[in-house]
Structure 1
Amino acid sequence: MPHMKPTIREWILLIGIALIAFQVWFVLGYPEFAFVDLSVDRNKAVEKAQSYLASRAVNPREYIKAATFLTDDWSDRYLQKTIGFKGEKAFIQKHGFELFSWKVRFFKELSKEEYAVAVSPKTGAIIGFKHLIEDTESRPPIDKEKALARAREFLGNTIGLDLGEYNFHAESVRKYDNRTDYSFSWEKKGVYIPWRKNEGYAKLLIGATISGNEVREYYVHVLDIPEKFHRYIENQMTSGEYLSTISFVALLVLLAWSIYFVVKRQHTFVVRACRKLYFGLIVFLVLINLVYIVNNIQGIMMGYATTARMSAYLGLYFLRLCVNIIFISIAFVMPGLAGESIRSEVLPEKPHASFLHYVRSSWLNRSLGHSVLLGYLVFFVMLGLQAGIFCIGQRYLGVWKEWLMLSQLSSSYVPFVSAFVVGINASLNEEVIFRLFGVSWGKKYFKHIALGIFFSAFLWGMGHARYAIFPTWFRGVEVTLLGCFLGFIFIRYGLLTVLIAHYLFDVFWGSAAYIFGHSSPFLFGGSLVIFALPLCFAVVAYLANKNEKENDIVLALTSTQHYNLRILKAFLEIRKSQGADARLLKEELLRHNWDPLLIELGIKDVF
C-alpha cells in the first residue's frame, strides 16, 4: 500500500498554517531570546578564571578544572512570577543582573581545598569567587571592624562598586579552631520586590567573606528571595512529581504488557521483520549517548565530591549509566516491536504509521522525502501552538518557565552536538512509545482512534509535569495538547513525519539561544547544521527515488510460516463452507495467538 501522500491543497494549507504559526512564535516567543548574550564561551570563561586565580598568586595548573554553565533558577522564577517576563528583562538591564553565569571549579582529588570562580557569559567579568578550605586551616587574627573595612575596600575599589548605592544588610561571624570568618552583605537601595502581602521582599545583595587577610568569598548582585516563595515552589514541584510518578507507573505497566506481548508474538512476521531494525537503533542510541557523555564530561566532573577517589566516583557513575542503558533499551525495543505488531493488526490501512513499511520497501524514496518536509511544517505549527498556549497561560493563569535546556546544554564542549543527541533520543523514544505503541494500543483496547490518541497524549503530557514550568500541571496540559496534535499527524501522515517534527522541536529549544541570542559564529553555524540534517536526508531520498512498493510478504515467510499458512487456509476453507463470517474468524484466530499477517493472507486467499 502506498504512502499517505498529502494533496496539493493539503500542502498549501500546511505551508500557510506553518507560516502563521511561525509568525505567532516570533511575536510571542522570540523576545525571550533577545536579551540572551553568550558572547563568552566555555574556553574564554576558563581563561578568565585562570587569570583571576593567577592574580591571587594561585597556580591554576596545579588543580583539576571543570566549567559548567548555570542559570539562576530561583531568581528567574521569582522575577517572572512577581514582575513578569518584560519586568524581568527590564530589571536585568537596569541593574546589570546576571541571570546566567559560568562556574569554573579548580580542585584536587581527596582535598577539601578548592576554588570556584563565577564568570559573566556576557562580559567575561568575574562576578563571584569562593575559596573553600579546611575547617582547621589557620588565618591571622583580625577584628570585625578591620574585616568590615577590608570588605568595603575590596568591593568598592577592587570590584568597582559604588557602596553609596547600597545599605548595610547583614553580618555574621563564624569561629573555627584556628581562625574567625566574617561575612558582610549590602542591599541595593530601592530594590524591594514583594512576594505577597506581608510575606517578604526580594533584595539585590552584594557581599564578601573575610578570613584573616584574605577575601575568601565574594558575590555581586545575588537576589535574596523570601522563604515563603521557596516553600511555594517546593510545593509546586511536589505536585508535579506526583503527576509525573503516576504517569511513570502507568508507563511501567504498559512496558510490562509490551514485554509479555512481544514474547508471545516473537515468531510472527512483523516482530521478525522489525527485530533487526530496532536492535540496530539501540546500538545507534547507545553510541550517540556515549558521545553525549564525553561531550558533557565537564558536568560530570563538577559533581565530583573530593571526599572519595576520582576512580570510585567515575566507576559508580558509569555503573549506573550501564543500568540506565539496559532499562532504556528494553523500554524502547519492547514497546516498539509491540507497536509494530499491533499497528499491523488494528491499522492495516496505515502502513506509513510504522517502520515496517520502510523495512519492506526502501528508506530512500520520494514519499519519505515528503514525510521529512512535512515534519518541518509540523514543527513550525508546534512552535506557534506552544507559544499560543503559553501566552494564554501567562496572561490568565500566572504561568512561567525556566531556561532549563540552555543551562543543560551550554556546559558541553560542543553544545549543538548535545542538542542533536537530545533531539534524537526524545524523538525516537517518545514517538515510538507514545505514538506507534500508545496510539495503536489505545485503538486496540478503546476501539476508537480518537481515544487512543488522547490516551497516549495524556500519558505523555503528565510525564512532563515535573519539568520547570509553573504551575506544574500546566506543563502536563500543554504537552497533552501537543500530543493530541501529533497523534492526528501520526495517523494522517505517518510515524516519520512526527518523528522529524519532534526532533526539530527539541533541537530548536536546545539551540535557539545560539541562533537568536548573541553567541559565537561556531555555535550559530553548528546549530543551523543540526537543524538542517533531516532536510539533507530528504534531498538524498528524493534524488535516490527508489521503488516504494512493499515486498511480497509471502516471499519473506519462513518454511514454518508457509506450513502454518497452508494449515490455516485448509481450516478457513472448512469454516467458509460452514457459512462462517470472515471478520468473526479473524477475531477467533487472533484470540488464539495466530500471526495477524498470516490471518490476513489466509482470509484474502480464501474469502
Structure 2
Amino acid sequence: MIELKLNRFLLLLAVIGIALYATITALYGLHEEDAAPTDNPSITKQQAAERAAQFVLERYNIHDPQTFVVYQSEKERSGYLQKEQLTDVYEQKYGDRFPIDFYQVRVVDQATDRRFDIEVNYRTSQIIGWNQISDISASMNKQKADIMAKEELRKQGWNPDDFVQVNKPNTSRDQRMTLVYEKQGGADAIGEARLQLQMNFDNQSIIGYNSLFSLPASYQAWLDQQDHSASVMTWVSMGFTLLMSLAAVLYIIKHRKRVDFRRGLLLTVIFVVIYIINNINMYPAYKSMAGASNEGLAMLLAALFMNAVTMLLGVALYLALAAGNAWWEQSGWRPWPSWRERRFGEEVWRGMGRGYLLALFILGVQQVLFYWGEKQFDVWSVNDPSDSVLNMLEPRLFPLMAWVAAISEEATFRLLGIVLFKRIFRNNFIAVLIPSIIWAASHTQYPIYPVYTRLVEVTVIGLILGYVFLKYGFITAMFAHACMDSILMGMSLFSIGYVSDAIAGAFYILLPALIALLISWMHKRRGPLTPGEPPPRLEAL
C-alpha cells in the first residue's frame, strides 16, 4: 500500500480548523439559552401513524385507514420568532401545544376516499391539528358553525370568551365553512403575532382545526424580499453556469482532436446514478410539498422534472470534465492524471489524505463564519422539510450526495471555471473569485437569512477550494469537498437518535478513505502503466 505522508502545512491547517470548530461550539454552548430548540423526534413515524389512525377512529369512525407520514415545519413562524429573538418566549407559551416542527400524517379512508392531514407532536404524540383535504359538497350555516367552534375551543382547553372571530378569505375550492378566532390580550401575543385558531366545517361536523399566528405584514414583506433576492441570485448563477457549459461546448468543437472523450465518463455515471437514487429517496419530501389537490399528478410531474434535470446536469458535468481537463492540458498542466498513468493510484491516495486535512480546516472556517454572521448580522435559519433527512425513504442514503456535490461542483467551478476565467482575465485570483461567487450564488436558496450572508460564506469556501485546486489538482479538491460534506452529512445522521443511524454516519465519514484505499489497491494491481508527467507548480494566488 502507498505510504501516506502527512503534509505539515496541511496538518497545521487541520489543527487550526479543529481548534476553531471546538472554540465556536463551546461559545454556542455558553449562549445555549439564545439558540433555537434542537429537539429531535421522540416518537417514530410508525407511532405517529398509529396515533393519527386512533384519532380518526375516535372522531370520525374511520377504520383501518392508509397512512403516510412526513415531517413538516412552520417555516415562516419559525423565521419570525428567530428574527425577533422570541423563540424562548414561544416555547414557554406554545411549544408543546403548537410546536414548530411536527409529523404530518396523511390518512385515507379506503372505503370512502375521505382524506385528512393529521398533525402530531413528534415529542409528545399529541394531536395538535387536523384538516380534511378531500372535497366536500355542503357545509353548515355560520351560526351553527360558531356554536360548534366555541364548543371545540372548550374541548381543547380554551376559554371561548378570550377569542374574537376575525374575517379571513376562504381559499378552499369546495363548499366548506371556515371560521377563524383570534386570542385577545397582549400577554398572550408573541411579539406582534397573535394566536389564531382556524376551524373548517362540513354540513355535520368540524373537519379541521389548525393553529395560525398573524405574523406582521412588515416581516412578511421583508421575507418576500429576501426570498426574491435569493431567487434572483440563483437564476443569475444558473445563467452564468449555462454560459460556462456553452464555453465548454465551443472549446470541445474547436479542439475536438485534443479532447479525450473518455475522461469524465465514469464520474458522470456515478453522479447520475447517485442523483437518481436520491430523487427516489426524496419521495416523502416531494409529498410534503405537494398540495392536497391533484397530489398524484403533482408527484408524477415532480419526479419527471427532477430526473430530467438530473440528466441535463449529467450532460453539463461531462462537458465540464472533458473540456476542463483538455483546456488545462493545452495550458501545460495536468490537473487530473488518467487511470493509465503510474501516478494515478498515488494521487488518489494522497488526495484523500490532503482532503481530510483541508476539510477539517474548512469546517473550522465555516463555523467561524456562521458565528460571526449570527452575532454581527443576526443570521438565522429555519428547518426545511424539503431537504430534511426526516423526509427521506432511507435517511442513511443521504450522505451519498456528498459525492454528487464534490464531483459536479469541483468540475464545474474549479476544473472548468478557473481555466475559463484565467483565459479571460490572465489573473489567478480573479479566475478563482468569479466562479466562487457564481457557485455561492447557487446556494442562496437555502433558508438562511439574510440571504447575502450565505453568498459571502460560500464564496470564502470557494476561494479556499480554488487555491487547493491550483496547488494540488482536481482529485485533492474533489476529496476535500467530499470529505467536508461527508462529515457534515454523516453527522446529520447522528441527530436521528438511533444506533444504526449513528453507525451509518460514522461509515460515511470514513467512506472517502475507504474509496481511496480501494482505488489505489485496484490501480496497483493493474498491468503496465505509462509514466505520466507530474503536474508543474503553478504560480501562487
C-alpha distance in structure 1 between counterparts of 2:5 and 2:253, whole Å: 37
> Residues 339 and 436 of structure 1 are in contact (CA less than 8 Å); yes or no, is this contact kept in structure 2?
yes
The answer on 1:338 being equivalent to 2:329 is no
The answer on 1:26 being equivalent to 2:21 is no
C-alpha distance in structure 1 between counterparts of 2:202 and 2:91, whole Å: 32
C-alpha distance in structure 2 between counterparts of 1:535 and 1:364, whole Å: 13
Report the Cα offset of residue 539 of structure 1: 4.1
- Counterpart of 1:372 (choices 352, 358, 362) is 352
- Counterpart of 2:477 (choices 495, 498, 512) is 498
The answer on 1:170 being equivalent to 2:165 is yes
Q: Using a 3 Å threshold, how does the CA distance of structure 1 residues 383 and 122 change in structure 2: closer, same or farther? A: farther
- Counterpart of 2:509 (choices 524, 531, 536) is 531
C-alpha distance in structure 2 between counterparts of 1:135 and 1:406, whole Å: 29
Match for residue 392 of structure 1? 372
**Given the two structures, how large is their TM-score scaled by the length of structure 1?**
0.76
Which string of whole-angstrom CA distances, capped at 9 and with x for unpartnered residues, describes residues 492-522 of structure 1?
A: 233233323323433444454442x462223
Which string of whole-angstrom CA distances, capped at 9 and with x for unpartnered residues, describes residues 449-505 of structure 1?
A: 222111221221222233322222221111111100111122223323332332343
C-alpha distance in structure 2 between counterparts of 1:178 and 1:338, whole Å: 59
**Given the two structures, how large is their TM-score scaled by the length of structure 2?**
0.84
Match for residue 82 of structure 1? 84
The answer on 1:425 being equivalent to 2:411 is no
Report the Cα offset of residue 247 of structure 1: 2.4
Which string of whole-angstrom CA distances, capped at 9 and with x for unpartnered residues, describes residues 97-119 of structure 1?
A: 5221111223589x984200112
Q: Using a 3 Å threshold, how does the CA distance of structure 1 residues 513 and 254 change in structure 2: closer, same or farther? A: closer
Report the Cα offset of residue 144 of structure 1: 5.2
C-alpha distance in structure 2 between counterparts of 1:102 and 1:24, whole Å: 34
Report the Cα offset of residue 418 of structure 1: 2.4
Report the Cα offset of residue 153 of structure 1: 2.9
Match for residue 329 of structure 1? 314
C-alpha distance in structure 2 between counterparts of 1:373 and 1:206, whole Å: 56
The AA in structure 2 aligned to 1:19 is I
> Residues 343 and 532 of structure 2 are in contact (CA less than 8 Å); yes or no, is this contact kept in structure 1?
no
Report the Cα offset of residue 533 of structure 1: 1.1
Match for residue 221 of structure 2? 231
Match for residue 586 of structure 1? none
The AA in structure 2 aligned to 1:551 is T
The answer on 1:92 being equivalent to 2:72 is no
C-alpha distance in structure 2 between counterparts of 1:224 and 1:307, whole Å: 25
C-alpha distance in structure 1 between counterparts of 2:349 and 2:147, whole Å: 73
Match for residue 53 of structure 1? 56
Residues 348-497 of structure 1: pairs in structure 2 closer than 5 A? 348=333, 351=334, 353-354=335-336, 356-358=337-339, 360-361=341-342, 364-365=345-346, 367-404=347-384, 407-421=387-401, 423-497=402-476
- Counterpart of 2:187 (choices 187, 190, 193) is 190
Alpha-carbon RMSD across the aligned residues, in angstroms, is 3.7
Unaligned runs of 5+ in 2: 537-541
The 3-state SS of whatever aligns with 1:128 is: strand
> Residues 70 and 102 of structure 1 are in contact (CA less than 8 Å); yes or no, is this contact kept in structure 2?
yes
Q: Percent same amino acid at aligned positions?
A: 18
Count of aligned pairs: 524
Q: Using a 3 Å threshold, how does the CA distance of structure 1 residues 425 and 346 change in structure 2: closer, same or farther? A: same
Residues 68-79 of structure 1: pairs in structure 2 closer than 5 A? 68-79=70-81
Report the Cα offset of residue 411 of structure 1: 0.7
> Residues 115 and 132 of structure 1 are in contact (CA less than 8 Å); yes or no, is this contact kept in structure 2?
yes
The AA in structure 1 aligned to 2:355 is G
C-alpha distance in structure 1 between counterparts of 2:196 and 2:175, whole Å: 29
Match for residue 14 of structure 1? 13
Report the Cα offset of residue 189 of structure 1: 6.0
C-alpha distance in structure 1 between counterparts of 2:188 and 2:162, whole Å: 11
The AA in structure 2 aligned to 1:288 is I
Match for residue 524 of structure 2? 546
The 3-state SS of whatever aligns with 1:26 is: helix
Residues 235-314 of structure 1: pairs in structure 2 closer than 5 A? 235-268=225-258, 271-272=259-260, 275-302=261-288, 308=294, 310=296
The 3-state SS of whatever aligns with 2:15 is: helix
The 3-state SS of whatever aligns with 1:116 is: strand
Q: Using a 3 Å threshold, how does the CA distance of structure 1 residues 456 and 189 change in structure 2: closer, same or farther? A: same
Match for residue 578 of structure 1? none
Report the Cα offset of residue 180 of structure 1: 4.9
Report the Cα offset of residue 322 of structure 1: 4.4
C-alpha distance in structure 2 between counterparts of 1:44 and 1:247, whole Å: 43
Q: Using a 3 Å threshold, how does the CA distance of structure 1 residues 509 and 107 change in structure 2: closer, same or farther? A: farther
The 3-state SS of whatever aligns with 2:117 is: strand
Report the Cα offset of residue 404 of structure 1: 3.1
Match for residue 587 of structure 1? none
> Residues 393 and 399 of structure 1 are in contact (CA less than 8 Å); yes or no, is this contact kept in structure 2?
yes
Report the Cα offset of residue 334 of structure 1: 0.6
Q: Using a 3 Å threshold, how does the CA distance of structure 1 residues 321 and 468 change in structure 2: closer, same or farther? A: closer
Unaligned runs of 5+ in 1: 157-161, 195-200, 555-596, 601-607
> Residues 120 and 127 of structure 1 are in contact (CA less than 8 Å); yes or no, is this contact kept in structure 2?
yes
Q: Using a 3 Å threshold, how does the CA distance of structure 1 residues 314 and 468 change in structure 2: closer, same or farther? A: closer
Q: Using a 3 Å threshold, how does the CA distance of structure 1 residues 368 and 415 change in structure 2: closer, same or farther? A: same
Q: Using a 3 Å threshold, how does the CA distance of structure 1 residues 544 and 245 change in structure 2: closer, same or farther? A: closer
The answer on 1:41 being equivalent to 2:44 is yes
The 3-state SS of whatever aligns with 2:411 is: helix
The AA in structure 1 aligned to 2:315 is I
The answer on 1:520 being equivalent to 2:498 is yes
Which string of whole-angstrom CA distances, capped at 9 and with x for unpartnered residues, describes residues 533-565 of structure 1?
A: 1122244456678399971569xxxxxxxxxxx
Q: Using a 3 Å threshold, how does the CA distance of structure 1 residues 404 and 313 change in structure 2: closer, same or farther? A: closer
Match for residue 539 of structure 2? none
The 3-state SS of whatever aligns with 2:269 is: helix
C-alpha distance in structure 2 between counterparts of 1:404 and 1:178, whole Å: 32
